[in-house]
Structure 1
Amino acid sequence: MNKSDLRKIYLQKRLSLSQVEWKSKSHEIVEHLKISELVRSSQTILSYCSFRQEPDLSELLTLPKIWGLPRCVDQSLFWHVAGNLRSGKFGIQEPDPDSPQINVSEVDLILVPCVMCDRKGYRLGYGGGFYDRLFSQPEWREKKAIGILFDFAVVDEFAIDEWDQPLNAICTESGLYSQLNH
């Protein structure tokens, strides 16, 4: 099955979750992240604003860390300190452009939204290539990254492209998995 078809199937599965299920599963993911060594040892963490029933990580922003959120500009992501949000490209909430930017050298960890992911850490996103382009840049390549998704969206494998970069770990409502088979 091609990526476009997989994307449609897994987005529909995610959108079919009831609000109660979505909130409960999101809360479980947050609880796993709170106790993870990757999160606890990080000072500056990049996250995202939930869109189309992605796992909601907003509870995490209460942890005493520097939190960054993305802003889409053309084909790139720019990271700003979490603060005042507004509707941006694609209708996704994003930081105000005047909020302080986060320099790549400060980043310890990136929490990456996924439509689906395989057990090796290869992710499928919305198809815009924003994270693929980010992780292809040398200064971002070595940053620790955790894919965030629900259990039903973790598969054994799917066809990947040569530009796809595996994540270091994935986190679902069942737990954090950092022993991926790269």
Structure 2
Amino acid sequence: MTTQEQKQQLRKQLLEEATGFDAAYLAASDAAIAGLLLGLPEYRAAGTVFCYVSVRDEVDTRAFIEQALADGKRVCVPRCGANSGMDACAIAGFDELLPGRFGLPEPAGHLAALPPDDIDLVVAPCVAAGKDGSRLGRGAGFYDRYLAGVAAPVACLCRGKLLRNTLPQERFDRPVDIVVAETGVIRPAGMGLGGTL
């Protein structure tokens, strides 16, 4: 079995597992992860934060985005383009989002994309994450392509029940710098900041 096949099989299994999480766990997990994310030194130091807009079973980012805006941060969210390309566009609020290419909330077309060098912290989604910094996305490659050109630290939000020691990775998969789960903060490279699991 190829690594790509392993990832597809694991993705399917974990997405099915996630459908069984009850509402109380999801709400508690969302709140705890948002609190830990807001406490990161990388967040406090960031002027510009790039964060996904949560949908479906993803860790909810709406409270985090609202707080980041209230904290005076420039908040960028993804706009997906052709060939699995993605841009970071600054928003002033959720009213600037419209259904995008995949029906996901995206910045309105008139909002300009920021260069990757302007980003101070990336908050990325995942299906699952490894304690070693490996990340399993949904398989389209949008984040891997975008992150290849970003120097900013990447924090991946992962429910504790979907956290693994490691995940299968291919050469183009970019490991994350920080994994935030409701159970704590993991810094795979041993950066020495914050709590670890």
TM-score w.r.t. structure 1 length? 0.91
Structure 2 residue 62 is matched with structure 1 residue 58 = yes
Counterpart check, 1:15 vs 2:19: yes
Does residue 161 in structure 1 map to residue 170 in structure 2?
yes
Cα deviation, residue 180, structure 1 = 4.0
* Residue number in structure 1 paired with 2:158: 149
Question: How much does 1:13 deviate?
Answer: 2.1
Q: Distance in 2 between matches of 1:22 and 1:122?
A: 22
In the alignment, is residue 67 of structure 1 matched against residue 80 of structure 2? Answer: no
- The aligned runs of 1:79-98 (5 Å cut-off) are 79-82=88-91, 83=93, 84-98=96-110
2:35 corresponds, among 10, 31, 34, to 31
Report the Cα offset of residue 107 of structure 1: 0.6
Moved over 4 A (4+): none
Q: Where does the alignment leave 5 or more consecutive residues of structure 1 unmatched? A: none
Q: What corresponds to 2:121 in structure 1?
A: 109
> Higher mean Cα deviation, 43-52 or 155-164?
155-164
Q: 3-state DSSP class of the match of 2:32?
A: helix
Structure 1 position 48 matched with structure 2 position 47? no
**Length-normalised TM-score, structure 2:** 0.84
Q: CA deviation at 1:76?
A: 0.6
* 1:130 counterpart residue number: 142
- Alpha-carbon distance between aligned partners in 1 of 2:188 and 2:169, rounded to the nearest angstrom: 19
Secondary structure of 1:127's partner?
coil
Report the CA distance between 1:177 and its aligned residue: 1.3
Distance in 2 of aligned mates of 1:91 and 1:11:
19
Q: What one-letter code is carried by the residue in structure 2 that aligns with 1:23?
A: A
- Do the aligned partners of 1:15 and 1:52 also contact (CA within 8 Å) in 2? no
Percent of pairs identical after alignment? Answer: 25
Q: State yes or no: 1:120 paired with 2:132.
A: yes
Paired letter, 1:76:
G
- DSSP-derived class of the 1:2 partner: helix
Q: Counterpart amino acid of 1:128?
A: A
2:136/2:167 contact within 8 Å kept: no
